[in-house]
Amino acid sequence: MTDPPVALTVAGSDSGGGAGVQADLKTFEACGAFGTSALTAVTAQNTTGVTASEVLDPAVVRSQFDAVVSDFPVAAAKTGMLGNADVVATVADAVADADFPVVVDPVAVAQSGDRLLTERGVSALREDLLPEATLATPNVPEAELLADVTVADESDLRAAAEAVLDLGPDAVLLTGGHLDGDPVDVFVGESTRAFTRERVDTANTHGSGCTLSAAITAHLARGDELPVAVERGVEAVTRAIESGLSLGAGNGPVDHDAVDAASTDALADARSVVAALEREWPTGLVPEVGTNVAVAPPDARTPDDVVAVDGRLHATQRGVRAAGGVAPGASSHVARFLLGVRERDPAVSAAANVRWSEQRDRDVRERWDAVVVDRAEEPADADGTMDWTAREAMKRVADQREATEGRAVTGRNRERHRAPDAVVDSGAVGKEAMIRVLADDAESLEEKLLSFA
């Protein structure tokens, strides 16, 4: 399988599992990153509060950090509860020379109201760690504490976020859930954006800040640019809160299983299609290069986001078999083709390739909306063969529409139009002829693929 990117959390332990390192590791996994950790403190807590807390020796914290980064290819890290000034200074020194982005969640007070960082620790956080941060993710009380500002309502959020930005991080995401009304989160950095959502009527938001910062870290580790990672992090924690999980007698934890529900659904959908092909497809439908099934979650932007078969499906003596499991990032060709089509028709979310034959070519053109792409026309300087194939296919859809309607299709109407059911690729020297099937969802793709059997 494709190795996942590695993310590191430097934070305290929550024995209740809703926040801290436990929440971070669950969120990393849900977002497709491999989680590692450097523990800073141990707390005895549950949904009603913190009953005991002990901060670890800074040297032990640094040893954990060094052990991870010396062996694992850490792609992004985050900090959470640090406990005191000595640990803050140690962590700031550790990340100062890091070649990966660092998200600082300036944890100072637990949701229950219990203090998790000393006064000297707050000063060290302000002076030593925030200047090393790629992103800081304070909530309203933390921003007030760090930047000595008052946030009374939504109108104060932008100024407060900029006050924290003046302390040295590259960017700030200030979460406004502590204010009355629908929550508004404000992002300031090279760009500025506000995220607004309806308030969920629930007290079960324990660990939401940890989950947000961990989701952003995971997406940074996966290669997303910061604004995209922030957007996906906000979406992730919203799903975790909306899930309706209710555990414990106090303020319960958010649902980490719901953090990346879209990818989870895409995995299940792709597995279903693969199982159907292994069960019912004759081997003659598999191209020489193999078949891949790609399913894109709604927010998919890169091949790493698209779920596909690791190693493709192949014709074997036992029938059609997948070489490996399904996983995000397991395909380049079919995933890039699917993403290219989605640029012009976002409703399409699934694709697969089928072996070409003259009979299948005729059948597809007779029963489906199909276009033909001649890959012999692909320019030598094309930015990617599948990107070019997708653009050419959608261009031909627009050309066919022009011919049918008897007028030119221009502007946004030419950019946005329905994808065909199939793209017939006539092949070229060194390029196998292929039929690529497209569908709005995995269930429809499965039906189309089984119709060849």
Q: Which of 91, 110, 105, 113 is nearest to 15 (CA)?
A: 110
Cβ atoms of 319 and 291 closer than 8 Å:
no
- What pLDDT shows up at residue 235? 84
Which ranges in 96-152 belong to alpha helices (H)? 119-124, 140-147
- What pLDDT shows up at residue 1? 44
Indicate if the pLDDT at residue 237 is higher than 90. Answer: no
Cβ atoms of 232 and 299 closer than 8 Å:
yes
The strand ranges marked E within 357-441 are: 370-373, 422-425, 434-439
pLDDT digits (tens, 9 = 90+) for 113-171: 666 788 898 999 999 999 999 999 999 989 998 988 988 887 889 999 999 999 999 99
What type of residue is 246? S
Q: Per-residue pLDDT averaged across 218-244, rounded?
A: 87
Which ranges in 330-384 belong to alpha helices (H)? 333-342, 358-367
- The percent of residues in the chain predicted with pLDDT above 90, rounded, is 56
Q: Per DSSP, what are the bridge partners of residue 7?
A: 35, 76
Q: Per-residue pLDDT averaged across 29-48, rounded?
A: 93
* More reliable by pLDDT, 281 or 184: 281
DSSP 301: -
pLDDT digits (tens, 9 = 90+) for 22-33: 999 999 998 889
Tokens 């007028």 locate to 407
Most confident of 103-112, 256-265, 344-353: 344-353
CB neighbour class for 225 (10 Å; exposed up to 12, middle 13-18, buried from 19): exposed
**Domains of the chain by start residue, with CATH:** 6-259 (3.40.1190.20), 263-450 (3.40.225.10)
Cβ atoms of 348 and 439 closer than 8 Å:
yes
Q: 416 pLDDT band (50/70/90 cuts)?
A: low
- Global pTM value: 0.67
Cα first-last separation, the chain: 29
Q: Which of 255, 272, 354 is nearest to 307 (CA)?
A: 272
| Tokens at 413, concatenated | 């109407």
271, 304, 306 from 5: Cα distances, Å: 22, 10, 15
Compute the mean pLDDT over every residue in the chain, rounded to the nearest whole number: 88
266, 316, 387 from 347: Cα distances, Å: 14, 34, 18
